[in-house]
Amino acid sequence: MVIKSAEYLISSPDWEKCPAADKPEYAFIGRSNVGKSSLINMLMNQQKLAKTSGTPGKTQLINHFLINKSWYIVDLPGYGFAKVSQSQRRNWEQMIENYLRKRPNLVNVFVLIDSRHTPQKLDLDFVNQLGKWEIPFQLVFTKADKTTQLETSRNVKAFLNKMRETWQFLPAHHVTSTVKKMGRDNILAFIDEMNAR
């Protein structure tokens, strides 16, 4: 897919204030600092479309970007901030659950996972929750340039094996590095294919 245009549209406090659900959309989510902004910028071939490393936990907004005038990228606030209060966490959970379950044009959620780590409970809990809600998703392992290929593939396998304990079918996954521009084509090809349906 060729990216001809990518523009920031709006940040919404909840799903009801999001733009009209008249175009397919793809959401990106993961722990804070997982590399979500960098990944979105890489996909769009831009330096600063999505902001990198904002103040963790401060803005809990649903960010819409309009791509090629025909589909949306949605940058969702991340999870796993150490310093958020109970009530902030509950707000996040409610906002995310409502958005994920009620947004009718949501085609797929890309769940970002740091490829440097062995499986983390927080990430597993989140994908298991998506499963319970029957939300389609794919896994995106980030920062693959930060460790050796062997270490990355060990961590990817370990995560999938953990999922295998409870899941009958495993989701598709991508291994990415924004430094090496790795994983971009496969993610965009998948989006292209879904948009064509």
CB of 27 to ligand GDP, least distance (A): 13
**Nearer Cβ to ligand GDP, position 16 or 49?**
49
Q: Is 172 a residue that touches ligand GDP (CB under 6 A)?
A: no
Cβ atoms of 139 and 174 closer than 8 Å: yes
For residue 19, how many other CB atoms are within 10 A of its CB?
A: 16
Under the criterion CB under 6 A, does residue 179 sit at the interface with ligand GDP?
Answer: yes
Two structure tokens written together for 52: 């990198």
Nearer to ligand GDP, 105 or 138 (CB): 138
Please select the residue that binds ligand GDP; options are 18, 35, 64, 155, rule is CB under 6 A. 35
Report how far residue 151's alpha carbon sits from residue 148's, in angstroms, rounded to the nearest whole number. Answer: 5
Instruction: Tell me which of 11, 12, 33, 186 binds ligand GDP, using CB under 6 A.
Output: 33
CA torsion 114→15→137→154, rounded to 10°? 10
**Options 27, 140, 141, 143; binder of ligand GDP; rule CB under 6 A:** 143
Shortest Å distance, C-beta 58 to ligand GDP: 12
Q: Which stretch binds ligand GDP (CB under 6 A): 30-38, 102-110, 132-140, 165-173?
A: 30-38
Burial of 87 (0-12, 13-18, 19+ CB in 10 A): exposed
| 37 near ligand GDP, rule: CB under 6 A | yes
Question: Hey, how many other C-beta atoms are within 10 angstroms of the C-beta on 178?
Answer: 21
Instruction: Give dist(CA 115, CA 93) in Å, integer.
Output: 24
Q: Which residues bind ligand GDP (CB under 6 A)?
A: 32-38, 52-53, 78, 142-143, 145-146, 177-179
